[in-house]
Amino acid sequence: MGVFDQSLAAFLAPIKEFLDDETVTEVLINGPTEIWVEKKGKLTLTTASFGDESQLQAAVRNIAQYVKRQIDSQHPTLDARLPNGSRIHAVLPPSARKGTTVAIRKFAKAAELSFEKLISWGTISADAAEFLEICIQLAKNIIVSGGTGSGKTTFLNLLGGLLPKGERLMIVEDASELQIRSDHIVNFETKAADHEGKGALTIRDLIKSAMRLRPDRIIVGEVRAGEALDLITVMNTGHGGSMGTTHANTPMDALVRLETLASLGDTGIPLAALRRQIAGAVHIVVQAKRLHDGSRKITHISEVLGVDENGRYTVQDLFKFIQTGLGEDHKILGEMRPMGNIPTFFEEIEVNGFTYDVKKFAKPAPTKPSAQEVLAQHQAALNAKSPVAAAAASAGAVAPGAAGGTGSAGGAGGGPGVAGAANPIAHLPPAQQQAVIAAAAKAGMSVGQYYKWALEKQKAAAAAKTAGGAKPAAGGKKPGEAA
Ligand SMILES: Nc1ncnc2c1ncn2[C@@H]1O[C@H](COP(=O)(O)OP(=O)(O)OP(=O)(O)O)[C@@H](O)[C@H]1O
Ligand SMILES: [Mg+2]
């Protein structure tokens, strides 16, 4: 441990236990005596204290010195990394009203994280992770989008670990955070201006340099200003497989955000052209989100298709996180599901020798009540004396699953006219009623629908008989089958 590490450790003694505690993911200091920690996505106030403002400021100054940056009245904020890889951001008073305010973000060690872990935590599905791995191999350009602390950097780290060996990767960051493990990596970090306001190196400067240093791919840790345009240019000029993160709440918003940032600089590019460039540059948007229960999930994996005739971005969701309920302690239950869209570059996957079953993009079948369940429901309603109950049950069975908005093959066509009507087979003897109900349930239709269809079929058959073998009018199709 160097001299600085030791003095750092001494200055940070009041929070050392949290820095060492692996279950703590974030340490938040709101002035010298108010210190919070985050564990499992939840914040708790601790009793730790820096004593007074001067001690806290001394610690922050020491960190700044360690990373060769400044924090003083002229430069009242600091972005830096601690020796253990944690990220730190600090703001001095008087802007920080409670006293020096600091956030220390501890990253799960890159070596300890893996897609397997994220899959087991429910952050992403195995199929989606496999798809992203193929996207990286195919050199698709990927933007990881999300809110603050949603897990963007963590996810980008993992994606970076999937890069093909032997490719030259250039990483450009504000304060280095990414710990991508690969065999040929060059890292760049921005540099603040000196006392005379000289010598600053911005992300934009560094991307321009990176472009001249024979990169295969470029990763920009976080796109938050005019460098959006540079990254788009990188992506559009043959450095396929480039990546970056940006702050946005949906994949569509991520594109709009890049557009806004790219047009911040004096680009002179007409908006329509810029949009086409962005839509052409970004192939996949991975959306990360910190949910209410503190968990981090990938909520969307979407493909950018282009720009429509009205100049709007078009995006298709390939995978999405679907919440299915709420568990104990308000834990959000759900899973990532395919959305039934096949990426436009699917052929490329096959042509390049990857095996990815196209069925993995298929929407899972809507959960439909079984025929027996529908039958039981009807019988219960018919047995009940109330004709209203019977009618409601009959209407309710129009399209099992339709209530959830999922629709079903049998119910899609013929709902109107039956819903809300009285039991359409009330006039039949009970045994025949039961036979009709069973047949309807088997066909996946409502009783009214099935009965109407059966009657029409009977009529058509009779007409065909009298017409001497002419084609039956109603054909063999069940209502709804056409739809
Ligand atoms: N899938 C996950 N499950 C649980 N914790 C996670 C997950 N992904 C990230 N984290 C943790 O959440 C915190 C925030 O992660 P990260 O820094 O990657 O977010 P970010 O979106 O890049 O944040 P920022 O917007 O501040 O840059 C870190 O402590 C990280 O270890
Ligand atoms: Mg980040």
CA angle 180, 182, 184 (to 5 degrees): 115
Q: Which of 153, 178, 243 for a ligand 1 pocket mutation test, highest count of atoms within 8 Å of Cβ?
A: 153
Provide the token pair at 178: 């990414």
Query: How do residues 330-382 score in pLDDT, each as one tens digit?
Result: 899 999 999 999 999 999 999 999 999 999 999 987 766 666 666 766 666 66
As a whole number of angstroms, the distance between CA 109 and CA 121 comes to 16
Judge contact between 145 and 223, C-beta under 8 A: no
Ligand nearest to the CA of 105: 1
Looking from the CA of residue 154, the nearest atom of ligand 1 is: 18
- Tell me the C-alpha distance between 225 and 470, whole Å: 73
pLDDT reading at 404 higher than 50: no
54 pLDDT higher than 60: yes
Distance CA(17)–CA(5), nearest Å, equals 16
Q: Above 50 in pLDDT, residue 272?
A: yes
Is residue 407 scored above 60 in pLDDT? no
Highest mean pLDDT among 260-274, 378-392, 394-408: 260-274
Residue 147: what residue type? G
Q: Which residues pair with 173 in a beta bridge?
A: 189
Does residue 346's CB lie within 6 angstroms of at least one atom of ligand 1?
no
Ligand 1 close to Cβ of residue 151 (< 6 A): yes
pLDDT band of 483, cuts 50, 70, 90: very low
Best of 105, 114, 143, 246 for a ligand 1 pocket test (most atoms within 8 Å of beta carbon): 105
Q: Most confidently modeled of 11-25, 131-145, 154-168, 427-441? A: 131-145
Q: Evaluate: CB of 121 within 6 angstroms of ligand 1.
A: yes
Backbone angles phi, psi at 132, to 5 degrees: -65, -35
Ligand 1 touching residue 25 (CB < 6 A): yes
Calculate how far, in angstroms, residue 22's C-alpha sits from the geometric centre of ligand 1: 14
pLDDT for 117-159, tens place per residue? Answer: 999 999 999 999 999 999 999 999 999 999 999 999 999 999 9
Residue nearest to atom 12 of ligand 1 (CA): 151
Q: Please identify, by atom number, the ligand 1 atom nearest to the C-alpha of residue 288.
A: 21
What lies within 8 Å, CB to CB, of 375 at 6+ separation is 437, 438, 441
Report whether residue 107 contacts ligand 1, using a CB cutoff of 6 Å: yes
Strand order from edge to edge, sheet including 185-189:
185-189, 169-173, 217-220, 243-247, 142-146, 284-290, 296-307, 313-326, 332-338
Token duo for residue 79: 């972005």
Q: Which ligand is nearest to the CA of 104?
A: 1
277 lines ligand 1 (CB under 6 A): no
- For range 452-462, the mean pLDDT: 84
pLDDT of residue 42: 86
The CA distance from 175 to 189, in Å, is 6
Ligand 2 center to residue 296 CA distance, Å? 13
Tens digit of pLDDT for each residue in 219-253?
Answer: 999 999 999 999 999 999 888 999 999 999 999 99
Evaluate: CB of 244 within 6 angstroms of ligand 1.
Answer: no
| 260 Cβ contact list (under 8 Å, min separation 6) | none
The pair of structure tokens assigned to 176 is: 């280095």
Please report which ligand is nearest the Cα atom of 173.
2
Distance 145 CA to ligand 1 centre (A): 12
pLDDT at 444 over 80: no
Q: Is 145 in the pocket of ligand 1 (CB under 6 A)?
A: no
Residue whose pair of structure tokens reads 């013929």 in the numeric block: 414
Crossing angle of helices 53-66 and 3-11, in 10° steps, is: 160
* Whole-number Å distance between alpha carbons of 90 and 71: 9
Structure token digits, residue 118: 């994220």
Pairing of strands 142-146, 284-290: parallel
Residue nearest to atom 8 of ligand 1 (CA): 151
**Looking at this protein, which amino acid is placed at residue 479?**
P
Rounded CA separation 230/265 (Å): 10
Q: Give the C-alpha separation, 451 to 446, whole Å.
A: 8
